[in-house]
Structure 1
Amino acid sequence: MASSPTHTSSPRSRRSRLKRGSVALAGAAALVGGLLAPSAAVADQTFVSDADTSANVTHVANVPKTEAMSDFNSDLAFTGDYAIGGNYNGFVIYDISAPEDPQVVSEVLCPGGQGDVSVSGDLLYFSVDYARASDECGAPSVPTSDPNGFEGIRIFDISDKAAPQYVAAVRTDCGSHTNTLVPGKDGEHEYVYVSSYSPSVNFPNCQPPHDKISIIEVPLDDPASAQVIEAPVLFPDGGNTNTSGCHDITVYPKHDIAAGACMGDGILMDISDPTAPVVTDVVRDTNFAFWHSATFTNDGATVLFTDELGGGGGAVCTEAIGPERGANAIYTIDGFKGKKKDLQLEFEGYYKIPRLQSTTENCVAHNGSLIPVPGQDFFVQSWYQGGVSVIDFNDPAKPKEIGYFDRAPINEDRLVLGGSWSAYYYNGYVYSSDITRGLDVIKLTEPRLRPAERVGMDEFNPQSQPEYRPGRR
């Protein structure tokens, strides 16, 4: 690897403008090519929200995107007092030690498409699904038909949050649209499940059929030697008509289970051996267009799948589309307390936001997480320009909205892609990654959700679910 990312860093004022500078930083695996240092800070101003919210939801902060991260914001991961936001240009590290006044600590410029992120200690895993001329951060884009193009996972050392270091790159078939962290059981390794799809005979590194995932093994004492060790086929008999890989996988290591959202199929897996996942059930739904993501309840007995009808770019929260398309589907897991190989999914009900959106707002079910109220099932979820929805699904057959955050259309006259890509609960607040408007911080004041404030997490990857317990902060 010949070069590494360009960094930007900023002081506590998020309103600072950045200017180009340079600094040399030594690293065993990489060299930092440049540093963008901030100019003098602008005085803080009173934050005024531009969102409509329910009475039990308060919009407390927004961190606008900088020029360096002018492309689309995507997913989030959390470690300690930091949130890490993916972007099609790279990633941003935010200091959230004061949640109502978050600050940009650094920005790593390393384009490669969606930029899905997972964090593990000092390591950050970053998805690349747009082909680049090489694995270098500054490499230009190339056609997917280029046999030498790089797509896959980049690994960074983020022990210094102000100056992350590029450690390694691992090529995977069809690149990496999303990635899921799976802890190893020996304490010496961890694994990354890489999800990707849409093969073509014209793509030399993404040939059909692509009914598989890639599994990367990372030796914790030598992450630079990470490599693909398995590529298990999840659909040996072929998936549903449009299934050619998985969009996303959520694992629940405590229970050795995983749920896969695989385009035309929803699947349940036994991951007792994380290097050899076994599919135990496959479900299909005529109302689902694109199985997108999944979340387990804390007891592991229920799983909520999302349908990304229209690929995220469509206005599908309308009366014409109705309440059962572009929605969530909730399944209980039959046989959960029995043998993993016998687990089956049983459909319970749908949930879609009840607030109709305009035809100029892209809106559909997207990424969310549990709100950790012990013994209860509450969920916070992004809906692109449908905003953020707070959901009670204690009765999985009759889920209902109990709170919301919703902005006006970006453009009243035409459809413009934007809105909340991901909305996750972390240590007392909801953090929403808005595609165009930056990072939003939301406080929930609903009395039923107050017990969640006593649940603390040191690290959180929504696609690698922890078991939560009160009093851990």
Structure 2
Amino acid sequence: MKKKQLLNLTLAGALTFSLIPATAFAHDELGGGGEKGENLEGAELSVPLLEGTKNVGHWKEVAAVELQEVKDGVKNSTGDVYSHKGYAYLGTHSANGGEGGVRVFDMKDPANPKEVASFAHHEGTWQEKVIVKSVNTPDFKGDLAAVSVQKMETGSDATGGFLLYDVTDPENPEKLGFWEDTSGARGTHELYLTVQNGKPYVLTANCYADYYSHGEQMDVHLVDVSDPAKPESIYQFDPRDHIEEVSDDNYDGYNWTDEDGISRAAFAHSVMTDNNGETAYLSYWDLGTIILDIKDPENPVYLGRTDFAPTVQGAAHSSTLAKGGNVLIETREVFGPVREGFESAYGYTMIYDIKDKANPTPLSSFKTDFTETIPGGATVHDPKVRGNTLYLSHYSGGVRAVDITDPANPVETGAYIPSRSNIWGVYVDRNYVLASDMGQGLKVLQKTPDNDAPTESE
């Protein structure tokens, strides 16, 4: 790979509040420092912390709604959050046996979200990710939802993969189809539904599929869902076939020894595409963010990937785009900041110039110094961009807003931290921001018209 750079960041000021120590739950059964967050506990605040300057100075928490119990006495925790045509869709995580499905909220009045439906309650699994798009094919016309399905336990009799639902009427979802991951791993952890030239496709991130199937099935599938009743996998991405530094000699589908002789974890954690569905971005943990040209979906072309300095833990977790697709935002999730031979750092955000996708060029990094204030929840999680503002979900660190007008000089401009914050996902829609709080449900921030509005909740 062409570079081995590590950029420094001017640290944002630390928050000053007390923290109740917490443990964390990892979904990575292979031991490579995988995703955590289920049992994190944030600060015990009497009111939410909500402060900001540019672009976020007039946000206000207008709603905090817990999920309804779909099973008597069972409280589900939230996964990711998405919004489409005035409805919010919340996936659910694995707490209390999973099977929480996707929750649908009517957002006509953002200050009073109404949970109006739930769907995708797949036995023995949890449903973390949901994406909704409007599609029009000979077999289906309407709003299509793709939902990730991941087994509670590897090797169980449950089936993992993804579900497809008709949510044209969001209050009455109808099941259309199911795509099964047959690798022997847990199923689809994250996914992305995209539309290319009118044709819908789902990209999967089936963590450890390559490893568990001994190379028979790959982590990333590109699935044609033009007929949602008959989803068809048309392509699988094998890093050994495309990346010079990866071969059978140094990679078994999970364990990878890089060109510096450093043992790393490499698996597909998350996937996304640009707006027209022609370029895919695969968050591949210590292999970085892999960029594919998918204009011909059956024959994608490897373009390039981001890279890490030998002292950086890696952990490319999620990504998003800015500046018309010329800038890549890469979040790296690291809960264990101390590892022999590596820099001491929780997971942070990298920003790249990708005008030349074969050579992603680091522009800057963004860190928030939580080392003392939030020792159990300091890592970044997921990114979203609206205009020149980057929104980051940060577990116990809440939601962080970052001005990226100059991507080479990101500046934190706002923070939203509910009491006992455990923010998994964030999504920006119209004049409000949605945040999924794992233990507490849906949080809604909305712009206030009053220029003299307080910058901290009262």
| Corresponding residue of 2:220 | 213
| Corresponding residue of 2:133 | 120
Q: Write the distance in 2 (CA, Å) between the matches of 1:168 and 1:300.
A: 32
| Corresponding residue of 2:169 | 160
| Corresponding residue of 2:429 | 426
CA deviations on 1:269-323 (whole Å, 9 max, x unpaired) are 222223333221122214243110011114111101001112xxx6x69xxx989
After TM superposition, the structure 1 = structure 2 runs for residues 1-400 of structure 1, keeping only pairs within 5 Å, are: 50-55=47-52, 56=57, 57-68=59-70, 70-88=75-93, 89-108=100-119, 109-111=121-123, 112-121=125-134, 122-130=143-151, 143-145=153-155, 149-172=158-181, 173=183, 174=185, 175-185=187-197, 187=198, 189-199=199-209, 203=212, 206-208=213-215, 212-219=219-226, 222-236=227-241, 237-238=246-247, 240-241=256-257, 242-254=264-276, 256-266=278-288, 267-285=290-308, 286-310=311-335, 325-335=346-356, 343-354=358-369, 358-359=373-374, 361-372=376-387, 377-400=388-411
Q: Which runs of 5+ in 2 are unaligned?
A: 1-44, 94-99, 135-142, 258-263, 452-458
Amino acid at match of 2:271: I
Amino acid at match of 1:52: L
Indicate the structure whose relative CO is greater, using CA pairs within 8 Å and at least 6 residues apart: 2
Q: Write the distance in 1 (CA, Å) between the matches of 2:115 and 2:46.
A: 19
Change in Cα spacing, 1:224 to 1:200, as seen in structure 2 (3 Å) is: closer
Q: Write the distance in 1 (CA, Å) between the matches of 2:306 and 2:383.
A: 21
Q: Write the distance in 2 (CA, Å) between the matches of 1:379 and 1:364.
A: 16
8 Å contact from structure 2 (residues 194, 277) kept in 1: no
8 Å contact from structure 1 (residues 178, 196) kept in 2: yes
Q: Deviation at 1:362?
A: 2.1
Q: Deviation at 1:356?
A: 5.3
Q: Deviation at 1:445?
A: 5.8
Q: Write the distance in 1 (CA, Å) between the matches of 2:116 and 2:441.
A: 14
Amino acid at match of 1:177: H
8 Å contact from structure 2 (residues 130, 147) kept in 1: yes
Q: Deviation at 1:399?
A: 1.1
> Structure 1 stretches (4+) deviating beyond 6 angstroms?
none
Q: Write the distance in 2 (CA, Å) between the matches of 1:280 and 1:447.
A: 47
Q: Deviation at 1:394?
A: 2.3
8 Å contact from structure 1 (residues 364, 384) kept in 2: yes
Q: Write the distance in 2 (CA, Å) between the matches of 1:322 and 1:424.
A: 31
Q: Deviation at 1:193?
A: 0.4
Aligned partner of residue 299 in structure 1, secondary structure: helix
CA deviations on 1:305-347 (whole Å, 9 max, x unpaired) are 001112xxx6x69xxx989541001111143xxxxxx632001
Aligned partner of residue 319 in structure 2, secondary structure: strand
Amino acid at match of 1:65: L
Aligned partner of residue 70 in structure 1, secondary structure: coil
Number of residue pairs the alignment of both structures matches? 357
Change in Cα spacing, 1:364 to 1:209, as seen in structure 2 (3 Å) is: farther
TM-score of the two chains, using structure 2 as the length reference: 0.71
| Corresponding residue of 1:465 | none
Amino acid at match of 2:91: G
Amino acid at match of 1:399: P
8 Å contact from structure 2 (residues 270, 283) kept in 1: yes
8 Å contact from structure 1 (residues 218, 225) kept in 2: yes
Q: Write the distance in 2 (CA, Å) between the matches of 1:289 and 1:114.
A: 26
CA deviations on 1:117-172 (whole Å, 9 max, x unpaired) are 111232211111216xxxxxxxxxxx5335x6411011112223222122211112
Amino acid at match of 2:276: K
Q: Deviation at 1:81?
A: 1.0
Amino acid at match of 1:179: L
Between the aligned residues of both structures, percent identity stands at: 24
Q: Write the distance in 1 (CA, Å) between the matches of 2:269 and 2:428.
A: 22
CA deviations on 1:220-244 (whole Å, 9 max, x unpaired) are xx32112222213234234654444
Q: Write the distance in 2 (CA, Å) between the matches of 1:145 and 1:164.
A: 30
Give the stretch that moved more between structures: 227-236 or 354-363: 354-363
Q: Write the distance in 1 (CA, Å) between the matches of 2:368 and 2:358.
A: 30
Q: Deviation at 1:254?
A: 3.4
8 Å contact from structure 2 (residues 272, 281) kept in 1: yes
| Corresponding residue of 2:17 | none
Change in Cα spacing, 1:273 to 1:243, as seen in structure 2 (3 Å) is: farther
TM-score of the two chains, using structure 1 as the length reference: 0.69
Change in Cα spacing, 1:254 to 1:191, as seen in structure 2 (3 Å) is: closer
Amino acid at match of 1:264: D
Amino acid at match of 1:59: E
Q: Write the distance in 1 (CA, Å) between the matches of 2:398 and 2:85.
A: 26
Change in Cα spacing, 1:322 to 1:399, as seen in structure 2 (3 Å) is: farther
Aligned partner of residue 287 in structure 1, secondary structure: coil
